[in-house]
Amino acid sequence: MQLFIGGTRAGKRGIVRQRFDAAVWHSAHAGCALKAWPSAVESARCLVLEGWERWLAARLADEPSDDRLRQVMSTELDALREWEARSGGEVVLVMLEMGRGIVPLSAEKRRLRDLNGWLAQDAAARCERAWYVWHGLLKQLSY
Amino acid sequence: MIAFVSGGARSGKSTHAEALARRWQTERGGARYYLATARGGDDAEMQARIERHRRSRGEGWITLEEPFDLLAALDRVAPGSTLLLDCLTLWASQLLYASPLDEAQGIAIVERTLAEARRRNVGLVIVSNDVNEGMPPDDDETWRYLAFLQQVHCLVARQADEVVQVVAGLPQSWKSQGSRQP
């Protein structure tokens, strides 16, 4: 499993498209639900998942506990890794860096920002490689 | 030669870019120009910022002022010289909000400026500010600005020979002559 992380419009999508040209995309921006990824991998050897901040945002209201929500997302990451091991496929996670600005005024946004940061940490910890995308350029993050 | 230097607010990016421009001028000869995108105006804070930058730059710069027409500014630079452009964030906001031009015309200006700088052997050092790693904007106008700025950043980073991210005054290289992307 690999992680590509970068800020808004940093060029993540273009870089991932170029490197994984045969991948199936499971994107929150295309209306896909996170839970629905198993149906997307039926035909795929490589699965790209993007829009994690949207999947998180959609769950904020239903799950008031940060710890439990973080756990739910981690379980999903574990399931993706298990699919890789079982099928010999490849998972690519595209995540948004949003933690480097001013602390948001709204409690909901602060919560989303916190959970998004933890999600990125939990994802990187489960990946073999992590990449930082900055203005269309790519750098491998060291472990 | 084109360099792109970016980083957070007060990360030391201008200081690094100025040093780079001085080095290029020493190596390549010619004059050293500073293209200020900021207009003095009546704003006391802006004047103080401009004055602080001017003091820290020191002597030896020919200052050009041009809010958005970078090509017109480049026309005032002697071929073979070094030109420091500081900074793209301000240029982008002036282009979108204080000029009759739109995003496509802005991109065209940047593309032509990069190409002309190469053709005229002008060493161009471009400074900008990273503003896309916080919460994504939730209003359309800020989105429009950020999308345009990032389009410009990606374009300049792709074309530049040298790309540096400055963190706490320390230049981190993303691209240097001869290096390849992973």
Is the CB of B136 less than 8 angstroms away from the CB of A10?
no
pLDDT mean over B157-181: 94
A9: left (phi over 0), alpha (psi -120 to 50) or beta: left
Residues B71 and B14 sit within 8 Å (Cβ to Cβ) = no
Residue B52 has pLDDT above 90, yes or no: no
pLDDT at A137 over 70: yes
Q: Is the pLDDT of residue B51 over 90?
A: no
Does residue B56 have a pLDDT over 80?
Answer: no
* R_g (Cα) of chain A, nearest Å: 15
Where does B2-175 sit in CATH, by number?
A: 3.40.50.300
Q: Comparing B44 with A1, which gets the higher pLDDT?
A: A1
Please name the member of B134, B146, B174 whose beta carbon is closest to the beta carbon of A9. Answer: B146
- Nearest residue to B130 (alpha-carbon basis) of B10, B7, B16: B7
Indicate the domain borders of chain B.
Answer: 2-175
Across the interface, whether the CB atoms of A101 and B154 are under 8 A apart is answered no
Cβ neighbours of residue A32 closer than 8 Å, sequence gap 6 or more: A26, A40, A51
**Within 13 Å of residue B47, how many CA atoms lie on the same side as its CB?**
4
Q: Which helix (H) or strand (E) holds B26?
A: helix B13-28
From the list B134, B135, B153, the residue facing A135 with the nearest CB is B153
Average pLDDT over residues A98-112: 95
Structural contact between residues A5 and A134, judged by C-beta atoms closer than 8 angstroms: no
B130 reaches A (C-beta below 8 A): yes
Q: Mean of the pLDDT values across residues A92-106?
A: 95
Q: What is the mean pLDDT of residues B104-133?
A: 98
The domains of chain A, with CATH numbers, are: 2-141 (3.40.50.300)
Contact with chain B for residue A139, Cβ under 8 A? yes
In this prediction, residue B40 carries a pLDDT of 62
Q: Which residues of chain A neighbour B154 with C-beta distances below 8 Å?
A: 9-11, 135-136
E-strand ranges in A59-106 read 90-96
In this structure, are residues A108 and A57 in contact, taking their beta carbons and an 8 Å threshold? no
Give the phi and the psi of residue A77 in degrees, each rounded to 5: -65, -40
Residue B33: name the closest of B13, B15, B55, B57 by CA. B57
Q: What is the ipTM of this complex?
A: 0.92
B117 Cα to chain A: minimum distance (Å): 21
> Three-state DSSP class for A68?
helix
What are A6's strand-pairing partners? A96, A133
Reported as a pLDDT band with limits 50, 70 and 90, residue B59 is: confident
Q: What's residue B131's pLDDT?
A: 96
Average pLDDT taken over every residue of chain B: 93
Q: What is the pLDDT of residue B41?
A: 65
- Give the integer Cα–Cα distance in Å for A21 and B100: 39
Average pLDDT rounded to a whole number, residues B116-131: 98
